[in-house]
Chains A and B, each alone.
Chain A
Amino acid sequence: MSTDTNVTSETSAAPWAFEGYEMVVGLEVHVELATRTKLFSGSPNRFGDEPNTNIDPVTLGLPGALPVLNRQAVELAMKIGLALNCTVQPCTFARKNYFYPDMPKAYQISQYEDPLNVDGWLDLPDGTRIGIERAHMEEDAGKTVHAGASGRVHGAEHSLIDLNRAGVPLVEIVSRPDMRSPEQARQYVSELRAILLAVGASDAKMEEGSMRVDANVSVRRPGGELGTRCEIKNVNSIRSVGRAIEYEAKRQIVLIEGGEAVRQQTRHWDEGDGKTHTLRDKEDADDYRYFLEPDLVPLVPERSWVEAVRSSLPVLPSARRVALAEAAGSAPDDESIVTIVDRGQDAYVFAVVDAGGDVGRAVVHVQQAFAEFDAAPPVPAGDLAALTTLETGGQLTATQAKTVLAVLVDRGGGDPAAIAAEHGFEAMDTSELEAMVDEAIAAQPDAWEKFRAGEGKAMGALVGHIMKASKGQADGKLVSQILQQRKG
């Protein structure tokens, strides 16, 4: 889970560049829709059941079976499109023909020439706008398990096919090649996932395969002609999205710098060795012989239906980040804001504020203490509000407040003042602190000399000493103020 939920800030917002090249990245994201039944039949759409139990004549591709479009799937697909600012349009289904043992009809029903959703966009938390070319419906294939040996095709004695997933509704969201760094790609996937969860279209679990990312990567001199692209498959976590793209872009740059051409290929990301490997060259690609699916009729969503779906959309993460950031006086892409909205805890923060709490302290506590909780943390908003009031009133230090909050979490709430009293937390007066500072200087003369000489780091040793002596009750901020004053 943790790999999926958070955009780690290991890279800065600085543009990615290597040997004077930039990367050009577009992502194709497949998501399984959270429908009750499959896209074209009544079998349950459920992950994790006994193999080959959620099947029927349509799923099996039996002779004479016919597809019937699932209305709920269309509705969820529209939600995705509308949340991504797409135009919802009349659309058609096509057959994509290819032989594969887990593809029962030997064709996939997909939208080709006229997809349901076109021409939208997604804004990253930092405001970068990524174009969405299309978001179309299609059916999933089954799963092939290679038995024996390594679990891969080579060395397998036989293969087993599970058709539970065959016919599960997918939406493929195709971005424009608007991303220029691994960080942007990660943010895009993270933001897209947040939107999917917010509108309830998918559970978007990359580890269960209900959200799958393929990356189209090419490199070029900034502003130059687009380079030849490679498609990277098997990118199964948000972390891998960044790693795979980074690796692939560098691989292409090294090729070009070595005087070789990049070949248009489909490549496989190997999480183990951290490299991409050739799956197939463009010239070996299948000819899918697309044509209109004659077993289905064009889908023309009535205007009233589209508008009803549009008005049912919840407030999306980007708008919620702006609202929370405004209230907290920070930027929408501040890590704490992004994290809280990601977890769906922004409404809780507002509840704390409504109960008279301090928004800044509430944001800090919610981000730090509620990581393992979902939208509804176990501490009543009023109790957290009371806690922040004690802090801002100077009755509790930040460290003490943390301790009290831990107790509140354990007990599922309570009176913060009473808990503080149980722990003997009282605000130390300044003279007491001054004495402790004197004692620390006497005990650590070396550190004091260094600190006086301007070595900021040396303050840590002195503060640590005081914290230890006060059993954590000293207000760290006040201590450093006193130290600065003494230094003169």
Chain B
Amino acid sequence: MSEYPTALQIAEGVRSGDLKAVDVVEQHLTTIADTDGEIHAFNHVMADEARERAAAVDATVAAGGDPGPMAGVPVALKDNMCTRGVPTTCSSKILAGWLPPYDATVVQRLTAAGAVFVGKTNLDEFAMGSSTENSAFGPTRNPLDTERVPGGSSGGSAAAVAAGFAPVSLGSDTGGSIRQPAALCGVVGVKPTYGRVSRLGLIAFGSSLDQIGPFTHTVADAALTLETICGHDPGDSTSIPEPAPEFSAVLDRGVDGLRIGRITDLPEGADPDVVARTDEAFAALESAGATIVDVEVPAFTYGLTAYYLIAPAEASSNLARFDGVRYGLRVDGADVEEMMRNTRTAGFGDEVKRRILLGTYALSAGYYDAYYGKALKIRRLMAEDFAAAYQQCDVLLTPSSPSVAFPFGSKTDDPFAMYLCDTYTIPANLTGDPAMSVPFGDGADDLPVGVQIIAPSLGESVMLQVAAELERSAP
């Protein structure tokens, strides 16, 4: 486990008066100032706002009040979540100069719980990528090996936790963008059930897939953060009208009697070290009293293909609003159409353009049925196959990422090799089911390996219960 204080420790200390939030925040700001020049986890550090907020939290405690369950906990936000008056860029040139006039729902909820935002973290532009190399502002380095990527697209948020810049950060996960970087940076990363966390104020990539979730050092901190950010939001029509359960209550229950599914027809391609650690995770759970059940999920293999039609299709529409008319970058032209073309040509990076083209093509008249329509069919099949598997087991266990953190530039010339990073994470986005990555030992070059737990819809509790067991038994 990490050398950094957890969110629970900080909140407990601040609420009891043993710790001052201003001191906690100052320590974290100092760490950021000392090392983020190299790591580049942040696009924007909110030093002044953080100090002000921390002072307000301390004042509440001094006045005998309770600032909330995350009192004084420094939190880093992926830079695709809107923060009022604070630059929100999606690591894209196209949002240059834009200041959101409102806070995302998750920002409001964390603020209400006493958390203190320390900055906005780097990402692959518009969350499109698996290494954070697609950021218009330069890549983030993996704190565990600065020659390697932190994963992506939430690479900045994963690195911020791994580097001790904040005990909690939020990422967004459309095809694995929380779980894969969590695995590569050796931290816990959770993608909740689609609809558990409001997307209001999250700048959309693939609206039917996007879900916000936390990075933390510990499963308990993840549970704490989830208790704060989950729950119905009438401002998001896809938000599930269910209150957030008390996730923290299940962490000590162990796995005795639980059935852990092993997918026998899982797509190949994981490195041997990753496979070995995953097998050990099964063994650890079995020795803790769980039963390992072999299940088949035939559609799993087609997830990547379906995803790379559905996500770009939605993205091509979601990103159409960046036209230079109302906000962000504008590059002038002879008429309005040329202005739009010039703006988008200059404002978007290659990977974003590639996906806009893919998605536009997939939705076009004459191609819709063959591409987008077929992808939707796979999505339905995926849900059916998972539902059948859940008849036999409580959760599924797979690797989070096919490999440990890889060196910069090793996949940038081959988009498809990069897309394969998401092989194991994508199905849970297509089904909407909750899934998370939890560190389980080291692989090649002493770099961390993450294993993924996938649970049925709204099954975060059992998922966290299993994660806590893996955390306890990790080598």
Contacts and interface: CB of A to CB of B under 8 A. Distances in A.
B102 A294 contact: no
Contact of A66 (B200, B317, B337, B372): B200
A446 B454 CA distance: 107
B328 to A, nearest CB: 9
Given A66-B200, A106-B317, A294-B206, 16 more contacts: A62-B102, A62-B327, A63-B82, A63-B95, A66-B237, A68-B235, A101-B325, A104-B326, A105-B320, A287-B365, A291-B314, A291-B363, A291-B368, A291-B372, A294-B208, A295-B204
B207 A64 contact: no
Nearest to A68: B237
B451 to A, nearest CB: 30
Interface in A292-309: 294-297
A111 to B, nearest CB: 15
A471 B464 CA distance: 100
Given A66-B235, A69-B237, A294-B238, A287 B364 contact: yes
21 contacts: A57-B102, A60-B326, A61-B321, A62-B100, A62-B102, A63-B88, A63-B100, A63-B321, A66-B237, A68-B235, A97-B316, A97-B317, A99-B337, A104-B321, A105-B320, A105-B321, A106-B317, A161-B325, A290-B363, A294-B206, A294-B314
Nearest to A159: B336
Give the 6 A-B CB pairs with smallest separation, nearest first.
A106-B320, A294-B208, A289-B363, A294-B207, A63-B203, A64-B201
B208 A64 contact: no
A106 B317 CA distance: 8
Interface string B176-211: 000000000000000000000001111110111000
Interface in B227-247: 234-238
A287 B326 CA distance: 24
B360 interface: yes
A67 interface: yes
A193 to B, nearest CB: 33
B340 interface: yes
Contact of B326 (A61, A68, A295, A296): A61
B104 interface: yes
A365 to B, nearest CB: 54
B36 interface: no
Interface in B213-236: 234-236
Interface string B312-324: 0110110011010
Output the residue of A97, A104, A291 with the most chain B CB within 10 A: A291
Contacts of A95: 317
Given A296-B237, A297-B238, A62 B101 contact: yes
A69 B235 CA distance: 10
Contacts of B364: 287, 289
Interface residues of A, number: 29
B81 interface: yes
A248 B104 CA distance: 52
A64 B100 contact: yes
B234 to A, nearest CB: 7
B343 to A, nearest CB: 11
A247 interface: no
A295 B238 contact: yes
Interface in B76-91: 81-82, 88, 90
Nearest to B200: A66
A296 B236 CA distance: 8
A104 B313 CA distance: 19
Nearest to A285: B365
A161 B314 CA distance: 27
Interface string A63-95: 111111100000000000000000000000001
Interface in A152-199: 159, 161
A448 to B, nearest CB: 76
A177 to B, nearest CB: 23
B104 A64 contact: yes
A159 B336 CA distance: 9
B323 A106 contact: yes
Nearest to A296: B237
A107 interface: yes
Interface of B: 81-82, 88, 90, 95, 98, 100-102, 104, 199-204, 206-208, 234-238, 313-314, 316-317, 320-321, 323, 325-327, 336-337, 340, 360, 363-365, 368, 372
Contacts of A61: 321, 326
Contact of B200 (A64, A69, A104): A64
Contacts of A65: 200
A295 B203 CA distance: 12
Given A63-B100, A64-B104, A297 B237 contact: yes
A294 to B, nearest CB: 4
A97 B320 contact: yes
A97 to B, nearest CB: 5
B375 to A, nearest CB: 11
Contacts of A289: 316-317, 360, 363-365, 368
Contact of B82 (A64, A67, A106, A295): A64
Contacts of B207: 294-295
Counting chain B CB atoms within 10 Å of each CB, the highest count among A69, A97, A289 belongs to: A289
B321 A106 contact: yes
A196 B212 CA distance: 44
Q: Could you say which of B320, B365, B368, B372 has the most chain A C-beta atoms within 10 Å of its C-beta?
A: B320
A65 B98 CA distance: 14
Given A68-B237, A289-B364, A99 B81 contact: no
A160 B323 CA distance: 16
Contact of A291 (B199, B237, B313, B327): B313
A105 B95 CA distance: 15
Nearest to A289: B363
Contacts of A57: 101-102
Contacts of B336: 101, 159
Interface in A385-435: none
Contacts of B317: 95, 97, 106-107, 289, 291
Nearest to A293: B207
Contacts of B234: 68
A104 B328 CA distance: 13
Contacts of B200: 64-66
Nearest to A97: B317
Interface in A231-289: 287, 289
- Determine which residue in B82, B314, B323 has the highest number of CB atoms from chain A within 10 A of its CB, and name it: B323
A97 B363 CA distance: 10
Contacts of B314: 291, 294
A63 B99 CA distance: 10
Contact of B323 (A99, A290, A291): A99
A149 B326 CA distance: 24
Given A64-B104, A66-B236, A159-B336, A99 B82 contact: no
B320 A64 contact: no
Nearest to A60: B326
Contacts of A97: 316-317, 320, 363
Contacts of B368: 289, 291
Task: Name the residue among A159, A295, A296, A297 with the largest chain B CB count within 10 angstroms.
Answer: A295
A66 B102 CA distance: 12
A101 B323 CA distance: 8
A107 B368 CA distance: 17
Contacts of A64: 81-82, 88, 100, 102, 104, 200-204
A65 B104 CA distance: 9
Contacts of A66: 199-200, 235-237
A159 B335 CA distance: 10
Contacts of B102: 57, 62, 64
Contacts of B202: 64
Interface in A92-127: 95, 97, 99, 101, 104-107
Contacts of A291: 313-314, 317, 363, 368, 372
A72 to B, nearest CB: 16
B407 to A, nearest CB: 33
B340 to A, nearest CB: 6
